[in-house]
Amino acid sequence: MSEEKIQVLIADDEDPLRITVAAWLGDEGFEVEQAADGVEAIKKVQEKDFDIVILDIKMPGANGLEVLRYIKKNSAQSEVVMMTGMSDVNMAVEAMKLGAKEYLTKPIDMDQLVPQLKGIIRARDAEDRIRRLQSEHTARLLYDLHNPIAGLRQSIGYLLKGMAGSLGDHQKELLGYMTTSIDKVIDLLTDMMDLTKLEGGRVRLNKGISSLGTSVQNITQEFHVPIQSSNITLDFYAEPDLPTLEYDAEKIEQVVKNFMSNAVIPHTASRSNRCASTKGCPRAGRRTTTDRTCHGFGVQ
């Protein structure tokens, strides 16, 4: 199977240099796209994931540092290499502080460029492998914790069924409380195992088309009784024209359940909750939110 090509974006307003570097890298087996200014570079990053983005520091529209900040916020998997003239070295150092992997001084040494870029990708891949190994090790530890706790939960269930003899009301109440506490620990361990899978790129999302407002409303209804008994006022609002989204409803609902569970705790002051679902598209500056105000203990 042929090796996957390294995807590179080069952004520079100097046409001769940009075209020359792009042609050189193309001849060396890289898949290269070009941008003539910072604004065009941001548009291309929005459209496609690149392994490496090469940025000139001084460009019209948006300079290299502005594009770098955007990439680190919105396309963190892309490695960034800055190009600079001798007078821009201080800005290049600033770019390194912002997350750039390397900076190249003009005129570009073409013979060194290819090994530098390949070295950056090798280092990135090595870091990814280390993170996956750490994630797998953590997952094994969590699994080893999960099993005996789940076994304890099962044993308590046997006791509650009277398999070891009859129980008094106080004993049943105590075992019921223990069961609830153990279930919370098991849920926490399960969430942590899912997180390690996500960090290791091994989580499986069961995506489906659904309404986020409906999902949140269903969860708030499940907490109707404990909310009332805890002297909490819960207001739910969802815009009537919310679009349907593709997401893993089970995992999103688990997040909301954890949020609500943390809110419904013993307290001495009254609290108010507000769950709101609003239309959103991250790139258009719109979003989906769930917020909560608290005047006592719990989630702030």
- Quickly state the pLDDT bin for 264 (edges 50, 70, 90): low
Q: Tens digit of pLDDT for each residue in 106-123?
A: 888 888 999 999 999 999
pLDDT of residue 197: 66
HSE, side-chain direction, 13 A CA sphere, residue 109: 8
Q: Tens digit of pLDDT for each residue in 143-153?
A: 888 888 888 88
Q: Is the peptide bond before 60 cis (omega within 30 degrees of 0)?
A: no
In this prediction, residues 289-298 reach a mean pLDDT of: 44
Examine the pLDDT at 227 and tell me if it is beyond 90. Answer: no
Closest among 261, 77, 87, 123 to 181, alpha carbons compared: 261
* Amino acid in the structure at residue 244: T
pTM beyond 0.75: no
Strands (E), 208-267: 208-210, 232-238, 245-247
pLDDT of residue 162: 85
Handedness of CA 16, 20, 26, 29 (dihedral sign): negative
- Which one of 3-12, 192-201, 255-264 scores highest in mean pLDDT? 3-12
Examine the pLDDT at 155 and tell me if it is beyond 70. Answer: yes
- Quickly state the pLDDT bin for 221 (edges 50, 70, 90): confident
pLDDT of residue 205: 61
Q: Tens digit of pLDDT for each residue in 16-65?
A: 999 999 999 999 999 999 999 999 999 999 999 899 999 999 898 889 99
* DSSP per-residue letters across 52-101: EEEEESS-SSS-HHHHHHHHHHH-TTSEEEEEE-GGGHHHHHHHHHTT-S
pLDDT of residue 294: 43
Beta bridge partners of 274: 235, 291
- Are the beta carbons of 223 and 260 closer than 8 angstroms? yes
pLDDT of residue 263: 66
pLDDT of residue 268: 41
